[in-house]
Every structure is written in structure tokens, then in C-alpha cells.
Chain A
């Protein structure tokens, strides 16, 4: 840089800055700035041109004002003028102003680009550097567009100065980072790679940053850099500390360059070429050796530089993961750092060890440091280091040391920092599950976990305990006993109460033999915690109580007493109130058989991925869990739980489903997934009770009705309940008949709507919508019925029957599948009807629908829109042929004719569309009168085919309202003619 000449001091600027520094208040500062701005404006406005020095001074002041946080909206032109100055300082200030202040959209950008171009093409290296720095500082897309082509040329040109090359490399890197699409290396690639061979170390250092970035995007193009990098590295590593003069930093040769080279190599797999690989391994060994040498200086910079290279080398070794020797050595050297004075080193050592632990070669070596790591966990002052120590413990854990590590982590948890507790809890939970040899140990561990850090035990953890206890018969007794003991503590965590409630509710009977834990004692113990718990836990406890009634009938009266008390049955929380009411009724009405069925022990959970693992995966955390570990865990988890089923690969997604949802279905009142697909709502509780209970002889129709009443919203359930028991003795309520209702009066009309179309809405009222979609081929048809629940309340006992009245069964064959008995509010179910036409028919089949909405039975009957014309097969024929056939069907009974008024006026296109919808072929140019419509088709039935001709003659000339049609149908079968005539006459 040229020396600053004497006149460049810019005294005015110094005065201005000191004025501002001396301002007492913000207001004074603003006043001073306003004054200065006015002064600069008048100077810039002044007619006589300013000299370079004052221009520079004022631009500098503007820049300073801008950096103080004020808006600057002038002076850009002056700054651009400065760019063309030949003085270094003026040019520098100009570039500074522009890189700080110029936004891309200004019209000045062309002038600026021009000035930059001039500087780039000048042979003056300082000017070129200034221009390059400006491009990099602005780093906008426009800059990239303008100069992305130019800079690589400067970078590789033979005659460019080294300092310019450095700037160019870094500038290009910056542009590449902003818009990679514009920086295309193409032909320059190999020459850029060869910059690694440059004699100037600065150029190499700058170039390697660029190459690392580029090779991360397209590794193949830059593959050649590996061997160059290795040779460069080996030259540096093997050089004596005095060889590299300027680039030796506290006796370490070129530490930054070494680190960057090592990092570049981490972008690639180990070199295939044996010689290169040998050389690299040699380098790495040398680095490891050098790290062991006694330090050449006591200065911290020396050790920092050395360690930086060492850690980078170890990272490379871990990346390659193929040299057992090096891995073990790396591990040992890291071990030395574990007790180093320097906190940063301890942190880095632990972090690197975490990754080493996952390598099979060095896992054992890492394990030797267990004592040190445990010690670090206990005594380390810095929380982030402790966190890493916990990570490492987790990573190095296996079957052999699991018990020790889990115990240590548990004991640490009591004093652990709050920020890492939750993660620690998860890790303990996983390790306990993963390496559990016996389940009592597992149960103990998790209960301890809840005891120590209950607040941090997430739902998943205790779900998992329960899953495992339920699935394993052998631990159930032990678990019940342990939980019972744990609950005796005067203050226990809510999660503990949850686990306790669930497990005692399921397996309390296993410890009931002991008089110290008799049913009543168990119940009282649980109930003593009840009032301290939150609503979800209380709900769970209520479920546990009802289970108790089943397990220990002797507690029934006590529990009913509890349920009956106002704080339950009138609880302000709807969920609790509903449970209390339902359970109370269930316990007083249902027989023991029903109770035993409903409140049966939970079936084993289907084996899935541990929900805890999924949770930990979601959490970030370097080295927390690597992928193969997870696989491992999954495998071992599978073994552990003895489930024959394989964890599916998409378990991640399913994991949420695998955890019992905390609300209604905890006790499995809902049929277990094995039994049938459970509807997801909590309200379904008692419907399911009914559907199972109805199998039991005692549950009659009235109970059925009563229980259905129960699933009313709670506010109405009170009154319904009041009359429920009374009703149960009397006859079924007469108001609602269970017989299929007669067809709706409008059914015929609804039917007519579908003569000419196949899809649409058949029926709709406030509750229900029925949509139809149908298709016909030959004598077969398929109809899809869609039942949509328009309310927000579910329909229960939804059933449909399709029946054929009269002699229709011999003419039409209908097959349907039954539909789901339950339609959720807003949901839609589909039913398929398969239709086979045996012979021609007249009547339409009936569809009867029954369901309960809000306790009231709904019953309605509709006609299914199946008419004979649906089985039409269009026949194309010429005029002559048509009239020939027309004449053939001239017997009076074969013809049906009707004259009727036009319903909607005569519109040719509408009529045509309807006739086509009918299924026949519309024949053009057949009838001599072009206004008449002529159609032909064959009706396909299983028994026979019926040819059919049609003529529709409108009198379009008549007054609107007077318009008439004459419809004539001739077919080989008289019934068909008649029926078609009837159907069609309604359509126009």
C-alpha cells in the first residue's frame, strides 16, 4: 500500500468526528449531522468543481454519517467520480463508499461497472485489488453477471501478480457463493486446480478455499486436486520450520494452508492410487508424530496451530475410516487431551471421540477412556463440555458397560444442568432399553429416571415403559410391585402417577395377594395422588379405577362412591365428567361378564420402533445418534421385546401412532388394533362397548339405545340418563319404527332425474346427502353410492338395504356390500351396488337407509335410479335401414305413442343431449323432417336383446306454452315400448 501522503490527514473529518463524539445527547448529534449535511450539499451544489481532496473528505463524512445510522441520499455521483482518480486514497474511499452504500438498482451501476472494468484492465496491481475487493464486498448478482467471466481470466493469467491472484480467487469464491449458476469454470477448471502448485503460498491458500467450495458442488471435475493436495501437504509437513519463512507461524509451517488442504481432502474418498495413498498416510502419521513432539515454544499460539492441524488430520482419518492403525492412534492422542488444561481442547477431544466411537476400528480404543469421560461429566465446569461428555458416553455405550454408564448418567442427572436434562433423560431411556439384559433392571432404571427428573421425562419415555411391561409377561408383577413402592413416596412426580395408575390398573391383581398391597390399599394410594394431578392424569386414573372394579369386585362400592361424588360427576372438565358418568353407569349396569370383556387386560402392543429413538432423532445434536446406531438399536430393540414382527422401515412416521394416545384409549376400551380398525375419536368409547357387549346375552335393545344415548354431548346426557333406567324396563319406544319406511313421496321424481344421466346427487336433507355414480356395459352395471354425513355428530348403526319389490327379483340381480355402521361427522362412506339385468323390467329397486342421529332413529327409503334404458346399446343405421326396421315393427302392441306438452320449451340441443343420455344412438339425416329426432338402440338383457326405435316430433312453430311433442316408440317387446314411453315422456 502506498504511504499516506501528508496532505491526506483530512482534518475536517477528524474535527467532525470529534464533534459528534462530544455531543451530549442524541438531539445534539442530529443537529450537528444536519448542519454538516447542509454544508456538504451546498459544497456539492456549488458551481465550481471540487478538487479530489475535498471530494474525498466529504464522501468520507457522508460514509461516516451513514455508518452512524442516518440515511444518505446524495453523494453517490461524487463517489463514482473518485473511482476515476489516480490517487490511491481517493480511489479507496470511492470504492469504500460504493461497496457500503450503493444499491444494485441505481442507474449509477453502469458507471461503477465501467470504472471497475477500467481498473481491472489497468496493469496497476493495487487498483486491480481495490476493484476486486469492491466486487467481492458488493457481491451482488449484478456484479456476478458483469464480472464472472473476467475474474477467472485474471486468476489464471500468467502475468498476474500474486497479490492480485489471491484477491481474484477470493472474489470468485464470493461470487460463486452468491450465484453459483453464473460462475462457470468450464475450461478454467484444470488451470485453477494447478494453482495448488503455485510457488506463492498465499495464492495456494486463497485458491484452496475456492477449490474446496467448487469441489463440494461438482467433485468429479476437481478430482485431480486430490493428488496435488496430497503432494502439497507432504511438502509442507515434511518441511523444516524454517523452510517456509513468511508462512511459518510460531514454528508451525503454514498451519492454515495445512488445515485447508486436510479439509479439501475430506471432500473426497481415500485416493485409489496406492502411491498417493501411501504418501497421504505418511503425512498423517507425521502429523500425529509431530503432535507428540515436545513443544518448540511455550506460547499458546504454537500449540493452537499444532492442534488445529492435528484435529483436522483426525477428522480426515475418521472420514476415511479405513486405517485401523491411524484410528487407534488418533484415539489415543485424543485421550491425552481429555484431561488437558484448555477447555476448548477437552471439548474438541470429546467431540472427535464421539465420531471415533462409531467406527468399528476404534470403538474399543474409545472405551478405554470411560473413567476419564465419566470423571469429566462429574467435574467439568463448562456445561457444553459436559454435554459432549454425555454424548460420548452415549456413543461408547454397549452391552459390556451399559450398566455402569447408565448408573453414572443417572447419578449425574440429579445435579445435571437444566439445559441438558431432557436430552440426558432420553439417552438414559434409550440405553436402558437398548442394552437391557433383564427387564427388572430396565423397569428400575426408568422409574428411577422418573423419580429423579420427572419434569424432563417426556411422554414417549413412559409410554415406552408401559409398552414393554404390557408386552412382557415376566416383568408385570415386578413392575406392579416397584411402582407400588415408588408411589408410596410422599411426593412423587405426575409421570410416576401416570405409570403407576396404568400399571396398577392393568396388573394390580398380581400384587394384591400381599396384605400390604391389598386392592383397597392400592386404590387409596392412587386416590391420594388424584387431587394433585392435572386433568389428563386424572382421566387416566379414572380409567384405572374402572379397571380396578373389574380386577377387584370388592372395591366396587368404594370406587362408585368416588365416581359419584360431585367433584367427579359434575366436574367442570367435560372429559372427566364424561368418564365419571360413563364409568359409574358402566359399573352399575353392566354384568360382570360384560365388565370383564370391556375391561379386559390390554393386548400386547404391536412391535414398532421405539418411540423414544424417534424423538431423539428429531432432536439435533452433533454425534447424538448416528444412523447405523439407530439401525442397531432397532434391531436390538426387536430382539429385546421378543416380538416376531419386524420393525418396518417407515417406523419413523408410525412412531406417533405406536404410542398410546394419552386420552381415551389408554386402557384399551377401544378394541385393540388387532380386533378391528378403531375409529379415532374419543367419543367412540361406548359405541364400541356396545358393539362388543351386544354379543353378551344381557344386552338388549334398550340397553343399546341407552348406551347410545350416552354418547350424546355431555350437556344433554344428563337428562337422557335420568330417564334411561326407567325406559330400560318398558317396551321399545314406539315413535321410531325399525321397519323400513315406505318410499319417500318424491322418490319417483328423484328417479326420473336419473333417466338421462348416470351421476349426480340422488337425495339430500339436513343430515344426509346421497350421491350416485354409475356405469353400465351390456346387461351389467355398477353403481357407487356415497353417503355423506352433513352434521358434525356421527351417525351410528348406519345400515342400508337394497330390496327389489314385486317380481323385480326375477328381472334384476342386485348385489351390495354392507357399509360401515358408523359415519363420523362430516365424513362420507361409499357403497357399491352391482347390477345385472336378467330381463326387461318396470319397477325400480328400493334403497332403505337406517341410522341413528343423536339417538333418534332415521329411516328413509328411496328408489334406486336403475331403469331399463340404462342397458341401451346404441345402434347406428342409415335412413333406409331405419325405415325398413320401423316398418317391421308395425304391430300395434309393438308401438307406444304419446303426445304431451313440452315442459320447458323446445331447445334442440337440450333434447339431443337428453336423447344421447338415454343411451340410444341419435340418427342424423334420417327423418325427412329435419326437426324430428330419430334414435335407435338395443336393450341388452341377460335373457334377450330388444331392438328399439324412437321418433320424437316437436311442433316448434307453436306458441311457447302450447308446444307439444309426439313421441313414438317401437320395439320388439311391448312392455319395453310402454316403459320407455313412460320414462321419456317425463323428460321433455
Chain B
């Protein structure tokens, strides 16, 4: 089990140090600093074993979070806990920065006491935590005495993530499908690897203890229905319309037994914002952009680069925040750029040309050309030609996922599925979206 948890700033100074077990001494703090943060060579492994003590760390901007143990623990569990810990802290005080941590150290210690007990992870549900850990920014005003008295029965009960007796005048829920698409493409346009990792994030404001059922165009479900029903409609909806999900994980509120047997996603949602599921697909991905690079070396001192990007989605949709990053050789001494659309600039500090376009409709194309002057060096090493990378945001799901329905049943209270106002939004972002040149 986790023996202790330390938070360091980028210099390796300890901001938070919480030891849960006696087998972790004070010197463990220094061991991590010396061997990982200040290591001569950058330490890339997130798990390090120093003097028979294991250190699991994650880094958030300049902050290091390290969980320490002497025992043989499940590393996946530790990392899941660390991520949860980050989520909780973000929910409480926003960005994880040195400043914020210093300002909220009392809160953090209180949280650490609550979510880890003798090294065993406890309830880390933000919603539940916020009902009884109320520091600074979190207002406890709207919690009545009565509500607070329910905390114990809630967190120890079967449905730890939702308390009873929630009432809203307007029953409303928001559903976001957030996806990030990753791609590696050869210069000739051959897809070397591509996958989408997506999340379904919900914000629900529903009264009582509603039972929800979520449906999407999962291939297995649709095939099953197609077989069972045999109607024309079901037959149509198979094929291109359904997607194959490689793997998925759910929020704890989802009934896994039901998912296993019927592949239906049914749950009693927590109140407020939460992540319903996470999934990954690798087949039939819609690639929103195609990058066509053209690099020509003119002698030893000049390089000509031309990059064309083509948007590949419905013309009615608009992509936003497009940024193309073209790496330049290390001996670049000057760059001239011409682009038809957006703005392009040579950023010496990053050794790249950065081309930004605010928005772009589907089925369009745009082009940039640059002349790069080089300084002859006595180094025989050839330029490695790192790939051209791209960032963007599109209003559809590149995996093809569609929400088919989200049904809400609340048997006790008097509102039906139709009374609930539902909002669905799709956002596709770029992950690592690279094209070799």
C-alpha cells in the first residue's frame, strides 16, 4: 500500500509531505529528489526503485507528485490514485501550480487524510468530498445541517457518489463527447498509426435518484439489435454507422454486470460533472486534416519547404485553433515564409515554423511555403527531419461515435424522460497528429 505521498516543486523542494506508514522514513523525501528530480540524466521511467523503496511519480506542469511504498503494490492502482488526486486538487483550487499548492496546503493535507487511509485509497469522488471538506473557495452555505448529517450514510452506503433528496426545478443534463485523435502518417500519405481516445463527460442536474441508460452506436449492440429485431431500420443503421470500440472504462456508477451481459450502459449518475466513460478506437477513423509536405534541399545552405493542408469533413463544419508546426534544421540561420491564410512565424526558440489559422471550413485546402537558409557546419550529422505536427479542434467525433439515446427514469418523482432537457456536444481535438516529411 502507499506508504507516503510527496509533492515537490521544480527545484525539488518539498511542498507537501504526508507519510502514512512507518516504513517510509524522512530520508525517502531526499532520495527521490537526489535520484530523480536532480538526476544527471533525465529520468524517464515513472516508477523508480531506490534502496528497496518504490517511487511512483507524475508531473503536472512544474510540480512533481510522488507516491512512495516499500511494498509490492499494484502500480496501476497507484497511478490511478495519483491522477484522481490531481483531479480532486484541480476541482478544489484550479490549476496545479506551486503557488496554488502553497496557498492551499491545509486543504491538501485535509484531502490527503480523507482520500488515503493508512495507505489505502478511499472515496476520491469530488462531489462527495466537497460535501464535507469545505475550505476557502468551496461554499458550504447551501448545505443544510440535514444534508451534512447524511454524509456518513452516503459515503458508507451503496451509492457513495450521490446523496438522497436532490431537487432541481429544471432537470437538465449536458453530455460532451471529447475525443483526441492521434496520427502518424508517412510523407506519401500512408497511415502508419492512428487511434482515437475519447471520453464521455456528463454534467447532470437531475432530481432524486434517477436511473439513466446511455446508448451509442457501438457495433456489438447494433449488430445484436439487427439480429434480434430484423427490421429494416436496424439493418440500415449497421455498416458505416456503427463503430468498433477497442476498449473502454467506466465511472464507478455504471453497472458493469449489466454491461457485461447486455452491453447496455445503465447507471445512477452523480450530481454535477463527471466522466462517464473512456474509450479507444482504432478502426475507421475520420482524419480531419491531411498534411502534404514537400521538402527540397537546395545545396548545403538552403532548404525549401512547402506544406499543404486539406480539411476532410463536411463543408458546413468549421475547424478551429489550427496550428501547424514545421520543424527547422538546427543550423537554420534565416527563414522567409509566405502563406495564403493565417499567420506564420519562425520561432527560433523552438526550432520550428509555427503557422496558425483561426478557423477553416471542411473540404478546403491551404498552403504555406518557406525558404530556410542554413549555416554550413563542420558536423557530419544529417538533419533527422522530425515530423510536422498539427493541432486543431473540430465539432464532430473523429471516431464516428454517435449518441443514440440517453434515457432517464425516476420512478419515485414525477418527471419523465421527456421533461429532461438534454444537450449533446461533440469535440474532436488533435492528440499527437504528425506527418513525416
Query: Residues of A with Cβ closer than 8 Å to B?
Result: 24-25, 31-32, 34-35, 37-39, 41-42, 44-45, 73-74, 76, 106-108
* Residues of chain A with a CB closer than 8 A to B334's CB: 42, 45
The B325-353 residues at the A interface (CB cut-off 8 A) are 330-334, 348-351
CA distance A39 to B349 in the complex (A): 10
Residues in A neighbouring B351, C-beta threshold 8 A: 34, 38
* Cβ–Cβ contact A34 & B349, under 8 A: yes
Q: How far is the CB of B146 from chain A (nearest CB, A)?
A: 48
- Could you tell me the distance between the alpha carbons of A74 and B331 in the complex, rounded to whole angstroms? 8
Which of B349, B375, B381 is the one whose CB lies under 8 Å from A35?
A: B349
B378 touches A41 (CB 8 A): no
Q: Are B349 and A73 in contact (CB under 8 A)?
A: no
- Contact status B350-A41, CB under 8 Å: no
Query: Are A73 and B331 in touch, CB under 8 angstroms?
Result: yes
On whether the beta carbons of A41 and B332 are closer than 8 Å, the reply is yes
Given contacts A24-B10, A24-B62, A41-B333, contact A74 B377 (CB under 8 A): yes
Identify the closest chain A residue to B348 (Cβ). Answer: A38
Given the interface pairs A25-B10, A25-B62, A38-B332, the reply to whether A44 lies near B348 with Cβ below 8 Å is no
* Bound-state Cα–Cα, A25 to B334, Å: 27
Given A74-B331, A106-B378: 8 more A-B contacts, CB < 8 Å? A25-B62, A34-B350, A37-B330, A41-B375, A44-B375, A45-B333, A76-B378, A108-B378
- Whether B373 sits at the interface, judged by CB under 8 Å, is yes
B379 on the A face (CB < 8 A) = yes
* Whole-angstrom distance between the Cβ of B61 and the nearest chain A Cβ: 9
Sample (21) of A-B pairs whose CB atoms are under 8 Å apart: A25-B10, A31-B350, A32-B349, A34-B349, A35-B349, A37-B330, A38-B332, A38-B351, A39-B348, A41-B332, A42-B333, A44-B333, A45-B333, A45-B334, A73-B377, A73-B379, A74-B375, A74-B378, A74-B379, A76-B378, A108-B378
The proximity string for B residues 377-421 relative to A, scoring 1 for CB distances below 8 Å and 0 otherwise, is 111010000000000000000000000000000000000000000
- Assess whether A34 is in contact with B10, with CB atoms less than 8 Å apart: no
- A107–B380 alpha-carbon span in the complex (Å): 13
Taking Cβ atoms with an 8 Å cutoff, the residues of B that contact A are: 10, 62, 330-334, 348-351, 373, 375-379, 381
Pick the most buried of B349, B350, B373, B381: most chain A CB atoms within 10 A of its CB. B349
Docked CA distance A42–B334 (Å): 6
* Residue of B10, B376, B378 with most chain A CB atoms under a 10 A cut-off: B378
Residues of B within 8 A of A42 (CB): 333-334
- Give the chain B neighbours of A108 by CB distance below 8 A: 378
Task: Give the nearest-CB partner of B61 in chain A.
Answer: A25
**A22, chain B: closest CB distance, angstroms:** 14
What is the CB-to-nearest-CB distance from A856 to chain B, in angstroms, rounded to a whole number? 52
8 Å CB contact of A38 from B62, B333, B376, B381: B333
**Considering only CB atoms, which chain A residue lies closest to B334 in the complex?**
A42
Residues of A within 8 A of B375 (CB): 41, 44-45, 74
Is A34's CB under 8 angstroms from B348's CB?
Answer: yes
Q: Bound state CA distance, A107 and B332, in angstroms?
A: 22
Interface of B is mostly: loop
In the assembled complex, the CB of B372 is this many whole angstroms from the nearest CB of chain A, namely 11
Specify the chain B residue showing the minimal Cβ separation from A103.
Answer: B378
Chain A hits for B333, CB < 8 A: 38, 41-42, 44-45
Measured CA separation A133–B10 after assembly (Å):
41
Residue on B nearest A33 in the bound complex, by CB: B349
Whole-angstrom distance between the alpha carbons of A177 and B251 in the complex? 71
Docked pose: A633 CA to B377 CA in angstroms: 67
Query: Which residues of B are found within 8 Å of A24, using beta-carbon distances?
Result: 10, 62
Interface centre among B348, B351, B381 (most CB of A within 10 A): B348
Q: Which residues of A contact B377 (CB under 8 A)?
A: 73-74
State in angstroms the CA–CA spacing of A545 and B97 once bound together: 73
Q: What A residues does B378 contact at CB under 8 A? A: 73-74, 76, 106-108
* B residues less than 8 Å from A45 (CB atoms): 333-334, 373, 375
Instruction: Give complex CA distance A795, B381 in Å.
Output: 64
- With both chains docked as a complex, state the minimum distance between the C-beta of B121 and any C-beta of chain A, in angstroms: 31
CA distance A543 to B62 in the complex (A): 67
> In the complex, what residues of B have CB within 8 A of residue A31's CB?
349-350
- The residues of A that contact B379 with a CB separation of less than 8 Å are 73-74
CA–CA, A777 and B62, complex, Å: 93
A41–B331 CB distance below 8 A: yes
CA–CA, A39 and B375, complex, Å: 12
Instruction: Name the 10 nearest CB pairs between A and B, nearest first.
Output: A38-B348, A45-B333, A73-B379, A31-B349, A41-B333, A35-B349, A73-B377, A74-B377, A41-B375, A35-B348
Please measure, in the bound complex, the distance between the C-alpha atom of A905 and the C-alpha atom of B376, giving whole angstroms: 74
Nearest-CB distance from A636 to chain B (Å)? Answer: 48
Docked CA distance A25–B37 (Å): 12
Q: CA A24 – CA B348 in complex, angstroms?
A: 19
Closest Cβ of chain A: how far from B279's Cβ, in Å?
Answer: 32
The CA-CA distance from A25 to B379 in the complex, in Å, is: 29
Q: How far is the CA of A108 from the CA of B381 in the complex (A)?
A: 18
Q: Which residue in chain A gives the minimum CB-CB distance to B376?
A: A74
Q: Which residues of B have CB within 8 Å of A35?
A: 348-349
Identify the closest chain B residue to A31 (Cβ).
B349
Give A76 to B377 CA distance when docked, in angstroms: 9
Say how far A843's CB is from chain B's closest CB, in angstroms: 78
Docked complex Cα distance between A32 and B348 (Å): 9
- Distance from B77 Cβ to chain A, minimum over Cβ atoms (Å): 30
Bound CA span A107–B378, Å: 9
A466 to B164, CA, bound (A): 85
Give A44 to B351 CA distance when docked, in angstroms.
Answer: 17
Looking across the interface, which residue of chain A has its beta carbon closest to that of B328? A38
> CA separation between A452 and B350, bound complex, in Å?
66
- Whole-angstrom CA separation of A155 from B277 in the bound complex: 82
Determine the chain B residues whose CB is within 8 A of the CB of A34 once the complex forms. Answer: 348-351
How far is A106 from B330 in the complex, measured between Cα atoms in Å? 20
Taking CB atoms, residues of chain A closer than 8 Å to B330 are 37, 73
Complex Cα spacing A511 to B3, Å: 58
**B373 to chain A: which residues have CB within 8 Å?**
45
Q: Looking across the interface, which residue of chain A has its beta carbon closest to that of B301?
A: A45
Q: How far is the CA of A658 from the CA of B379 in the complex (A)?
A: 61
B44 to chain A, nearest CB (A): 14
Instruction: Report Cα–Cα, A45/B378, bound state, in Å.
Output: 14
Nearest-CB distance from A934 to chain B (Å)? 74
Q: Please name all residues of chain B whose beta carbon is closer than 8 Å to the beta carbon of A41 when the two chains form the complex.
A: 331-333, 375
Complex: how many Å from CA A107 to CA B10?
A: 43
In the complex, what residues of B have CB within 8 A of residue A37's CB?
330, 348
Q: How far is the CA of A397 from the CA of B334 in the complex (A)?
A: 79
Q: How far is the CB of B107 from chain A (nearest CB, A)?
A: 25
Q: Report B-chain residues with C-beta under 8 Å of the C-beta of A25.
A: 10, 62
The winner among A32, A35, A76 for most chain B CB atoms within 10 A is A35
User: Complex: how many Å from CA A44 to CA B378?
Assistant: 14
Enumerate chain A residues within 8 angstroms of B10, measured Cβ to Cβ.
Answer: 24-25
Residue of B nearest to A102 (CB): B378
Nearest to A108 among chain B residues (CB) is: B378
Instruction: Look across to chain A and name the residue whose beta carbon is closest to the beta carbon of B379.
Output: A73
A32 to B10, CA, bound (A): 18
- Of A38, A39, A108, most buried by chain B (CB within 10 Å of CB) is A38
A376 to chain B, nearest CB (A): 34
* Across-interface contacts of B350 in A (CB, < 8 A): 31, 34
Least CB distance, B101 to chain A, in whole angstroms? 16
Residues of A within 8 A of B376 (CB): 74
> From B380, which residue of chain A is reached at the shortest CB distance?
A73
Most chain-A Cβ atoms within 10 A of its Cβ — which of B62, B333, B351? B333
Please give the distance in Å from B263's CB to the nearest CB on chain A: 45
CA distance A441 to B169 in the complex (A): 101
Bound-state CA distance A42–B332 (Å) is 8
Q: A107–B375 Cα gap in the complex (Å)?
A: 17
Closest Cβ neighbor of A73 among chain B residues: B379
Shortest CB–CB separation between residue B329 and chain A, in angstroms?
A: 10
Q: Which residue of B lies closest to A28 (CB)?
A: B349
A77: nearest chain-B partner, CB-CB: B378
CB distance from B382 to the nearest CB of A (A): 12
